[in-house]
Amino acid sequence: MTETLFAFDKHNYLDCQSGFRGVRNQEYYLGDYTIDAGSVIDVRADKKAVGTISIIRLRSRTRLYFKRTWSHIREDATDVAVLWFVKRGRLCISHQCGITVAKAGDFAVTKSMTPFSIECQPDEDSVHEVLHVIVPAHMLRRHLPQGPSSGFCVPAQGREFSIAERILTEVFEDAGELSEHVAQLLVDSALMVLSDAVKERDAGGPVRLSLSEKRRQDVLRYIEIHLSDPKLSIATVAKGCGISPRYLSFLLKLHGTSFSSMVWDKRLKTARQWLSASKPGEASISEIAYKVGFKSPAHFSRMFKRAFKLSPRSYRSTGAPQAAQPAVPALPGPGCNGTTH
């Protein structure tokens, strides 16, 4: 459920500096917060906490100002990133690299460990609205080691950003139907989408894939879809992707692998994940073997033990330890002619 973080009107707006961080003074970070005086003052922020992440919807009918300086940073050193989705009005962000203006539909980022100031401007109907997500910096660095640049902003045409916004909005507006676990999964998915999109835009634009890389991705998708087929072969994959077996071998060689090695590696890793995520009553070892494309459980057990030093049964019973990468032989016995089984 959401909770009201703060609400200011003409009676208490002068208290905004002491109230914008919430009743426990734990939300946001230190800064100078002011609200324009006007005939209509209506400022409200509602919050939904999902784990260590906060999703906040801020609505206002007047201008808001916020400034964070080096003095504030030295005082509290809160290290978070704020991901802004502008729904109505504009955000004018002054930062070390210049000024960024984010309009309705845009996505922007501010970081608490660098000085910045923001002016929130209502639209022609005197309404300003943003959805912003406060993410601990260490969590964002899992996906973006360098983090987005200061004042990073993407215009409304960013498709990935609108998808992430919809996911976060659904989580924010949920009335308790989603479990905490599912809400966390959805937020994590939105952050992953945002991180990939930011990587592309922050590097100067989307990366164009070469023809060979597009072909390789087609091959990987085909193998993923047909992994359970024990007759999967270099000939069937090449035909399914509209290329010759020779060219397929060439593509894989460019990335340091062969067809057989790649398929065995994929099958064994998929089986390992399945063993880790299931119990004996949910999926038997024989079922897993057939579902990842082995012709027999015995062959599966031999290959699995060769790769992970444990039989599938032992691997599952010991709590699925973190094993090394599968030591898949280049020519894994049967199937050396290009057919895996």
Averaged pLDDT score across all residues of the chain? 83
- Per-residue model confidence (pLDDT) at position 333: 34
How far is residue 110 from each of residues 116, 117, 132, 170, 331, measured CA to CA in Å?
Answer: 8, 9, 10, 23, 52
Task: Tell me the C-alpha distance between 16 and 22, whole Å.
Answer: 10
For the cut 80, the answer to whether the pLDDT of residue 88 exceeds it is yes
For the cut 70, the answer to whether the pLDDT of residue 45 exceeds it is yes
- Per-residue model confidence (pLDDT) at position 179: 93
**Cα-based torsion angle of the residue sequence 69, 73, 74, 75 in order, rounded to the nearest 10 degrees:** 100
pLDDT band at 59 (very low <50, low <70, confident <90, very high): very high
- Per-residue model confidence (pLDDT) at position 209: 53
Percent of the chain with pLDDT over 70: 87
pLDDT band at 233 (very low <50, low <70, confident <90, very high): very high
pLDDT tens per residue, range 174-216: 988 999 999 999 999 999 888 888 877 765 444 455 677 778 8
CATH number, domain 3-202: 2.60.120.10
pLDDT tens per residue, range 144-171: 766 666 567 776 566 788 899 999 999 9
User: Lowest mean pLDDT: which of 19-28, 256-265, 304-313?
Assistant: 19-28
- Per-residue model confidence (pLDDT) at position 276: 84
- Per-residue model confidence (pLDDT) at position 146: 64
For the cut 60, the answer to whether the pLDDT of residue 53 exceeds it is yes
- Per-residue model confidence (pLDDT) at position 25: 66
Greater model confidence, 207 or 112: 112
Contact yes or no for 161/138 (Cβ under 8 A): no
pLDDT tens per residue, range 248-289: 998 888 878 899 998 999 999 999 988 888 778 788 999 999
Greater model confidence, 25 or 57: 57
Contact yes or no for 203/209 (Cβ under 8 A): no
- CATH ID of 211-317, from 3.40.30.10, 1.10.10.60, 2.170.8.10, 3.40.630.30: 1.10.10.60
- C-alpha 293, offset from chain centre: 30
pLDDT band at 39 (very low <50, low <70, confident <90, very high): confident
- Per-residue model confidence (pLDDT) at position 280: 80
Tell me the HSE value of 135 on the side-chain side, using a 13 A CA sphere.
28
The token pair that represents 68 in the structure block:
């964070």
Task: Tell me the C-alpha distance between 64 and 62, whole Å.
Answer: 7
Task: Tell me the C-alpha distance between 188 and 139, whole Å.
Answer: 10
Task: Provide the residue ranges of all domains of the chain, joining segments of one domain with +.
Answer: 3-202, 211-317
For the cut 80, the answer to whether the pLDDT of residue 80 exceeds it is yes
DSSP tally for the chain: helices H, then strands E? 12, 12
